Structure 1
Amino acid sequence: MALPDDITLANALADAAGAAIRPFFRAPYDIEAKADASPVTEADRAAELAMRGLLETQRPADGIIGEEFGTVREGASRQWVLDPIDGTRSFIAGRPIFGTLIALMQDGWPILGIIDQPISGERWVGAMGQPTLFNGKPARTRRCRALEGAQLATTSPHLFSAHDGEHYLALAAAVAGDRLGQGPIYGGDCYNYGLLASGHVDIVCETGLKLHDFAALVPVVEGAGGHMCDWSGEPLHEASAGDVIAMGDPARLEDVIGALSHHHD
């Protein structure tokens, strides 16, 4: 399980990543001069290096799986999974809804996760068996009595394959009911899962996520009273394919999976 020391360290990792990222956000830059190194790649690398440096000092036996610099100590039973900037498009567009993701996995299962937004100063910390904290105070998902009228979020409809997109649209239609004008909210990447943990969003549905995109989300959502799984309802772990559902109210699980499986071929 995640120990208090692990949670303290994870918070320090998020602090270090945020300090590395902030100077690059909305910073003026010369595209011609840096064709090979956009502000996002510079920020990504600086943030991941800062986190990896701390881990090498504090947890030399633990594995590290990072988006930018790959994996070290692959066989370790404890693995830190790092995504310095989840939400590259938002970062480039100056939208403060990207996030730094930090997870600790034990034998392939996420047991600790942080979603950190370093511009707005918002941080969700989830650890197995403990309530999720948002900036130090307990975060709770909200109940959702029916699929119709639920607030659905996904980063972009363009990220679904044609096949997955049909399933997603079937879910969006079931959620919209007669209120098609309301529709889902788009954009947000990991930030949507924080909003779900804090009770502002009911369902997030995505495909094509990598381990570093989803590992940190699971303890945050579940510690706030929500539920996360793949599209067939299986729990998420290191071998999951990357299709994910998060719901604030676990009672809606069968409704969500049922709606996703109804579509016209």
Structure 2
Amino acid sequence: MARYADDLALAHVLADTADSLAMSRFRALDLHVTSKPDLTPVSDADTAVEKALRSTLARTRPRDGVLGEEYGSTGATGARQWVIDPIDGTKNYIRGVPIWATLISLMEGDEPVVGLVSAPALGRRWWAARGLGAFAGRHQAAATSIKVSGVSRLADASFCYSSLESWEQTGRLASMLDIMRKCWRSRAYGDFYGYMLLAEGALDIMVEPELSLWDIAALIPIVTEAGGTFTDLTGRSGPGGGSAIATNGKLHTDVLGKLTPGGLRAL
């Protein structure tokens, strides 16, 4: 397990670079924003961050592959692949909302083994590696171990979700509303932030119906090393399902059963 310590240290170096570049363009009057083919926005900060991280990885990990949101899959095709979302929360970023982050993950085969989320506008970073635990702080030298909550009833749970529109499109809006009514509190923080609050024990459930690999790979080690459970909507672990149900573990079966009844068979 200790072999991931060097990879995690590199992830912090990458995050330092990303923080500097992204913050230098945050709320810039000349920020350049265009639309991708799927009509989602991309800024010059997104592309600059990904290019810089790819350049560092090409020097330091030339045998590893790289997958990024803006430039796809490049490099070696071995068992190790770095997965990058240069700015998760681009819509927030371009509007001046400080809830955005760079997501960095290392995958071995189909499993993410290192995850780091850096949100410099919030002054906070979260990270984990398989077998090494989960931590949060302003930087590696100011780390605090984090763990999920002990809440065991939906009636006491804080529930977080992505936009209701996306759940309506999947035909699960009624199930979502039912869960929200049963929970103590519900909020739509969205993107990376709900998962990090879950890992810290500040909320108990986070769900999203549609995700790409770069949206999810860095989150899984942090949530699971903090003691949580992370599956897709069918109940399968890992990042390949394109959706997410993340909980403190105690609530997982209940949430999965209400949101995706058939998913219980996969647990």
In structure 2, the gaps of 5 or more residues are 138-142, 262-267
How far has the Cα of 1:163 moved from its partner? Answer: 3.3
Counterparts of 1:120-159 in structure 2, within 5 Å, are 120-135=122-137, 136-159=143-166
User: Could you tell me which residue of structure 2 aligns to residue 252 of structure 1?
Assistant: 251
Cα 1:178–1:115 change in 2 (3 A) is closer
Secondary structure of the residue aligned to 2:122 is coil
TM-score norm. by structure 2 comes to 0.87
Structure 1 stretch 123-132 or stretch 87-96: which is displaced more? Answer: 87-96
How far has the Cα of 1:72 moved from its partner? Answer: 1.2
Residue 151 of structure 2 aligns with an amino acid whose one-letter code is: C
Cα distance in structure 2, aligned partners of 1:35 and 1:245:
31
Query: Relative contact order: is structure 1 or structure 2 higher (C-alpha 8 Å, sep ≥ 6)?
Result: 1
Cα distance in structure 2, aligned partners of 1:162 and 1:85:
25
Structure richer in strand, relative to its length: 2
User: Could you tell me which residue of structure 2 aligns to residue 76 of structure 1?
Assistant: 78
Residue 88 of structure 2 aligns with an amino acid whose one-letter code is: D
How far has the Cα of 1:27 moved from its partner? Answer: 1.7
Cα distance in structure 1, aligned partners of 2:104 and 2:91:
19
Cα distance in structure 2, aligned partners of 1:123 and 1:164:
35
User: Could you tell me which residue of structure 2 aligns to residue 201 of structure 1?
Assistant: 203
How far has the Cα of 1:176 moved from its partner? Answer: 2.5
Secondary structure of the residue aligned to 1:192 is helix
User: Could you tell me which residue of structure 1 aligns to residue 175 of structure 2?
Assistant: 170
User: Could you tell me which residue of structure 1 aligns to residue 265 of structure 2?
Assistant: none
- Would you say the 8 A contact 1:170–1:260 is kept in 2? yes
Identity of aligned residues (%): 36
Return structure 1 stretches of 4+ with deviation > 4 angstroms.
34-40
In structure 1, the gaps of 5 or more residues are none
User: Could you tell me which residue of structure 1 aligns to residue 11 of structure 2?
Assistant: 10
1:188 aligns with 2:190: yes
Number of positions where the alignment pairs a residue of Structure 1 with one of Structure 2: 252
Cα distance in structure 1, aligned partners of 2:131 and 2:34:
44
Secondary structure of the residue aligned to 2:96 is coil
How far has the Cα of 1:241 moved from its partner? Answer: 2.8
Structure 1 stretch 68-77 or stretch 123-132: which is displaced more? Answer: 68-77
